[in-house]
Amino acid sequence: MKGERKQNANMGMYRMQNGIHKSMPPSNMLEMWSSKRQAHKEGISMTTEDPADFVGYCGLHCNACGIRQEKIKTAVGNLRDIIAHYGFDKMMPELAKWEPSLKHYNEFNEVMNGLVKMFGDCPGCLQGGGDPDCKVRSCAKQKGYRTCAECSETDNCENLAHYREGYKGLASALQNIRENGIRSYARGIQREVDDGYSYVEERR
């Protein structure tokens, strides 16, 4: 029961930050994401596909996303490697005598498993990844738009509000698509990604 409450609380926070439909049960959302990711996982590459295929409806480029770049999966793996190198994972009961919080290590380990399971990889927006209830995706498809750059209401669009807050370059990205076309924009972002760029940098 305690674990279920924690899961619901965590998913509630993620929904608030990412605009996910609040009525969807966490188990259903996880199942949808997992099945879509698995269906498209094989053969999808960061660099061998057409970069324009990884421009989301919002105008952001999926290959610059930290989740698609597997930053969470890598960070968890690195942390586990360090813990194992020093043998801390075998010493937790003893270490907990000095630092009481370490008695919760097993729960923490399960949290890391959950992070990797849910956010370890993503095939990209157009390939079935991301929020299954994305309002931006639904709106763009309903209007027949490839991206929000075709819409005249982006500056005040409520569906894009949390993207504008989290990604300072969103407005310029949409303008770039309008002026230069999606393929030119995508190639430019892909070059930056190949040089190590990630949207994670914008949140620091």
Residues 160 and 179 in one domain: yes
Q: Is residue 8 part of a domain?
A: no
Does the pTM surpass 0.75? The reply is no
Residues 75 and 155 in one domain: no
Domain that holds residue 116: 71-120
* Total domain count, the chain: 2
What pLDDT, in 10s, does the model give residues 60-86?
999 999 999 999 999 999 999 999 999
Which residues contact residue 128 at a Cβ distance below 8 angstroms, ignoring those fewer than 6 apart?
A: 36, 37, 39, 40
Residues 78 and 143 in one domain: no
CA 126/CA 202 separation, integer angstroms: 23
Of residues 163, 176, 172, the one with CA closest to residue 137: 163
> What is the pLDDT at residue 25?
52
> Is a pLDDT exceeding 60 seen at residue 13?
no
Which residues contact residue 152 at a Cβ distance below 8 angstroms, ignoring those fewer than 6 apart?
A: none
Residues 60 and 140 in one domain: yes
pLDDT averaged over the chain?
Answer: 82
Residues 60 and 157 in one domain: yes
Residues 107 and 95 in one domain: yes
Of 138 and 32, more confident: 138
Q: Is residue 5 part of a domain?
A: no
Q: How confident is the model at residue 99 (pLDDT cuts 50, 70, 90)?
A: very high
